[in-house]
Amino acid sequence: VLDVRTDIGAYLKAHLPGAVYLHTETLRSAENGVPNLLLPAQSYRALFTRLGVAPGRRVVIYASGESRNIDATYVAWILQGFGQRSVHVLDGGFGKWELEGRPLSRRYPRDEAPPFAASEFRPERATLTDVRNALHRADVVLVDARPPDQFLGQAGAQLRRGHIPGAVNHYWQDDLVEGEIARTWKDRRVLRAAYEEQGITPGKEIIAYCNGGLESSHVYVTLRGLLGYPRVRVYDGSFTEWSEREDLPVATGSEAARGSAPAVPPS
């Protein structure tokens, strides 16, 4: 059981019995200056070994259950890249668990597992080149998982504001329903209808992006894990990488459907 809440103090106060602590930011770092990319496979092997994760062992991941479900889905996306067969995200996270009066602990688990010896790391990941080429393909949908104001270019910390041309804005929190203290996924039928209404359908290849892979991992888990979409990838460089490249186009305003091909050559 992995506790991925952003505040280690919250873990020290109470956590699920047997849970070990992991801060999501230890899972990514800079590469060629881009500050939020995946680490090499060997780094994850060392980290997951320390946490007691082993191939074939069931893993349950939980975040706060409020606005940080994305921490749990990001870890799930990485583990699935190693072919981990049984990876689960706790719906509603710690907040729902605590609200329902379920068991809590303050003890640190003493759990030794064999080395995390998964041989290959093949995350369902898209690169900048993949996204450039996708701009010219009608069978690919780019899904921007950020808040609408960032998509429209009204907010954002990146060097340029806006979105990748042709992208569809599907804010990741729209997949959730507000509870007393936690947010949980909406009914599968409601989720499927919402995505398909935007043209995000199972027959197309989906590339989700945000600012750095976290929000888009939530779309990934929703489409792959809950709705069974066969081809979904996360562009972890996301708009942080894209917007810094002045040779790449950026769109602003309400343009949200695929239109004419942007003025950028495929590579």
Name the burial class of residue 48, with classes exposed (0-12), middle (13-18) and buried (19+) by CB atoms within 10 angstroms of its CB.
buried
More confident residue, 85 or 247: 247
Would you say residue 248 has pLDDT above 70?
A: yes
- pLDDT, residue 177, reads 95
Q: Strands 176-178 and 183-185, how do they pair?
A: antiparallel
pLDDT at residue number 176: 96
Does the pLDDT value for residue 94 go beyond 90?
A: yes
Residue with tokens 């409020």: 66
Q: What is the pLDDT of residue 255?
A: 53
What confidence category does residue 54 fall into, taking pLDDT thresholds of 50, 70 and 90?
A: confident
Read off the pLDDT band of 151 (50, 70, 90).
Answer: very high
* More confident site: 199 or 85: 199
Contact predicate 261/135, CB 8 Å: yes
Would the pLDDT of 34 be above 80? yes
- Average the pLDDT over 46-70 and give the result: 91
User: What is the separation, in whole angstroms, between the first and last Cα of the chain?
Assistant: 42
Question: Is 70 exceeded by the pLDDT of residue 258?
Answer: no
pLDDT digits (tens, 9 = 90+) for 108-134: 998 777 888 777 999 999 999 999 999
Cβ atoms < 10 Å from Cβ of 124: 16
pLDDT surpasses 60 at 261: no
**Quick one: pLDDT at residue 17?**
97
In this prediction the pTM is 0.92
CA distances from 119 to 47, 54, 83, 116 (A): 15, 12, 10, 9
- pLDDT level of residue 257 (50, 70, 90 thresholds): very low
User: Which residue in the list 76, 210, 232, 234 is annotated as catalytic?
Assistant: 210
- The tens digit of pLDDT for each residue in 13-25 reads 999 999 999 999 9
Q: What is the dihedral of CA 258, 144, 81, 43, to 10 degrees?
A: 130
85 pLDDT tier (thresholds 50, 70, 90): confident
Cα 32 to chain center, whole Å? Answer: 22
The predicted structure's pLDDT at residue 262: 40
Tell me, yes or no, if 210 is annotated catalytic. Answer: yes
Confidence band of 256 (pLDDT split at 50, 70, 90): very low
